[in-house]
A and B are shown apart, each in its own frame.
Chain A
Amino acid sequence: MEKTKSKSLPLTKRGLNFEMLMWIFTRLSALVMYALILFAIIGALFMGARYQMNLADLMRWGFTPNVTHIQNTNVPDVAPWVTPLWKVTACLLVLVAVAHGIHGLVVIADDYIVTPRGRQIVRIISILLVLLMSFVGVFVIWTS
């Protein structure tokens, strides 16, 4: 097959605007979420989940390591499950997921809302949503 010349600009001429940064952030935050979920699941297995939890509860804990997610399991002592380590892990997961998710909604909205004014409104709403959901998520984790 004949090699075609790449049409993309060299990195120095491309410029680095906010959309480009968010494009990279979306990819990297996906990897970060994978890492945090794996960390939570491996941590749960170390804390005795093999004998105290079923697979569904283990995944529930993995997606957000919050103590309310192990209420219906056979864990005898919740003390190791409510350490600051797990609270920080859960908060990181929530913050990354909120930014990833709301930015995803903006990307989808941009395909249907094409006027500059409409896109501006979408962005204002999205910033408010990120602030609201980040605050509510962190609050729920630290007070549960």
Chain B
Amino acid sequence: MALKRQVGLKQGLRYKGGGPMLVWMLHRISGIGIVLFVGLHVLSSFSSQMFGLNLAKSVNIIYESPAFQIAIFFCVLFHAINGLRVTILDLWPKLIEYQREAIWVEWAVFIPLYSLAVLVIISTAAGV
């Protein structure tokens, strides 16, 4: 098979892709995270509305925990901002020349927004 990969895990980890590779990996991980969260959320709502199960309530306890909110908000915010960058670069291919700068802009938008959100989540949880 021509498609067979020749790269092992160790080799893959040693690959120095830098910033673009990091956001590519985070985009995948956060995407899987969102699919799992939204899928579970929709299915648990369905089960409680359709069969009156308490599944949604017990799952909600997990959703409302600060640690889970910090994790899922990372996934959603990062996926949204990085997705916007990818979309803009792909729809205007001439901008690809500036893709490293675009990634710096992306972090400059993401880090303040996410820090603020984490601060709000923690202060709400602490009841301040």
Residues in chain A within 8 A of chain B (CB atoms): 27, 30-31, 34, 55-56, 63, 68, 94, 97, 101-102, 104-105, 108, 114-115, 133, 136-137, 139-140, 143-144
Given contacts A55-B120, A114-B1, contact A104 B31 (CB under 8 A): yes
* CB atoms of B5 and A27 under 8 A apart: no
Residues of B within 8 A of A97 (CB): 38
Instruction: Give the contacting residue for B34; candidates A31, A34, A101; CB below 8 A.
Output: A101
Contacting pair A56 B124 (CB below 8 A): yes
Chain B residues with CB under 8 Å of chain A are 1, 3-5, 28, 31-32, 34-35, 38-39, 42-43, 45-46, 49-50, 76, 80, 83-84, 86-87, 90-91, 120, 124
Q: How many A-B residue pairs have CB under 8 A?
A: 52
Question: Given that A27-B87, A30-B87, A56-B120 are contacting pairs, would A143 and B42 also be in contact in the complex, using a CB cutoff of 8 Å?
Answer: no
CB distance from A102 to the nearest CB of B (A): 8
A31 with B45, Cβ < 8 A, contacts A101-B35, A104-B31, A108-B28 known: no
A30 near B83 (CB under 8 angstroms)?
yes
Q: Which of B1, B39, B50, B86 contacts A27 (CB 8 A)?
A: B86
A34–B38 CB distance below 8 A? no
Nearest-neighbour CB distance to chain A for B5, whole angstroms, equals 7
Contacts A30-B86, A102-B35 known; 10 new A-B pairs at CB < 8 A: A30-B84, A34-B84, A56-B120, A101-B31, A101-B34, A108-B28, A114-B3, A115-B1, A136-B43, A143-B49
Name the residue on B nearest A37 (C-beta).
Answer: B80
- Give the CA-CA distance A34 to B79 in the complex, in Å: 12
A144 touches B49 (CB 8 A): yes
User: Hey, which chain B residues are within 8 Å of A34, CB to CB?
Assistant: 80, 84
C-alpha gap A112/B120 in the complex (Å): 38
Contact of A104 with B35 in the complex, beta carbons under 8 Å: yes
Q: Residue A105 contacts which of B32, B42, B120 (CB distance < 8 angstroms)?
A: B32
C-alpha gap A63/B31 in the complex (Å):
15
